[in-house]
Amino acid sequence: MCDGREEPRESSSMAAISSLQAINVTFRRRGTRCGIAEPSGEPAPMGQKTRYEDGLVERVFMGLFARKMDKFGSKKKEMKEKGFWEYDYESFVEVSKRVMQGRSRVQQQEAVREVLLSMMPPGAPQQFRKLFPPTKWAAEFNAALTVPFFHWLVGPSQVIEVEVNGVKQRSGVRIKKCRYLENSGCVGMCVNMCKIPTQDFFTNEFGLPLTMNPNFEDMSCEMIYGQAPPAFEEDAATKQPCLADICSMSSPSSPICPKLEA
């Protein structure tokens, strides 16, 4: 885990982080606003769905992920396979819902892991471990990467200072209002299809600990690179009830979202 020790590549990594932040600022000045179509350039208030305008790059990522996930989803016989450019964010979320059907939470998480691995070239996890050992600079660098390169998936975010093992560092990412949770409205999808497999992938495949703390009251989320995630049974996110007002699959009478049960 991150120990706060200075590394030889500290100065070069900080320069790279500054470059990434400059790219993000440039995009904002050009009016991209991370794809948000709201007049304010910020996510819509709770109770309202944020409007996005996705460009070519965003749709490429949506199509790529959706087609990979579609292989694990349950399909009706009359369903026609979509072409690469026919996916938008809503259809990407719909594919996620089909992946959940008929699978336990562990099977859902494993399906996402297989999708993530299929996106990587051979030997990628091993190369990642060499390039990004679990140090302070690696955690900060990956936090900086998250903001510009994953806005299509989770919406706008920003790097924040966090404390990891008693050391203050800028390896946190605060997602203002998670697009995936907002569009799915499902606690189980957030935890089983995003939080747990992403944490597991970085921690166990890449060797860089990651903890994600979703806030189901305002749909924000905090990612902490360098911090080891808690066990499933000890994680507060795994004990959440359904978002009954917005989830089409909710069970209001259940104290915990049924999708989080084994």
pLDDT at 8 over 70: no
Buried residues in 169-192 as b, exposed as e (16+ CB within 10 A): bbbbbbbbbbbbbbbbbbbbbbbb
Summarize pLDDT for 223-244 with one digit per residue, the tens. Answer: 999 999 999 999 999 999 999 8
109 bridge partner residues? none
Q: What single DSSP character describes residue 169?
A: E
Q: What angle do the packed helices 56-70 and 89-100 form, to 10 degrees?
A: 20
Who wins on pLDDT, 209 or 71? 209
Question: Do the Cβ atoms of 182 and 46 come closer than 8 Å?
Answer: no
Summarize pLDDT for 31-75 with one digit per residue, the tens. Answer: 344 589 999 999 999 989 999 999 888 998 999 999 999 888 766
Who wins on pLDDT, 99 or 79? 99
| Model pLDDT, residue 17 | 45
Under the banding of pLDDT at 50, 70 and 90, the label for residue 13 is very low
Question: Do the Cβ atoms of 203 and 228 come closer than 8 Å?
Answer: yes
CA distance 226 to 198: 13
Who wins on pLDDT, 22 or 40? 40
Mean pLDDT of the chain: 86
| Model pLDDT, residue 248 | 80
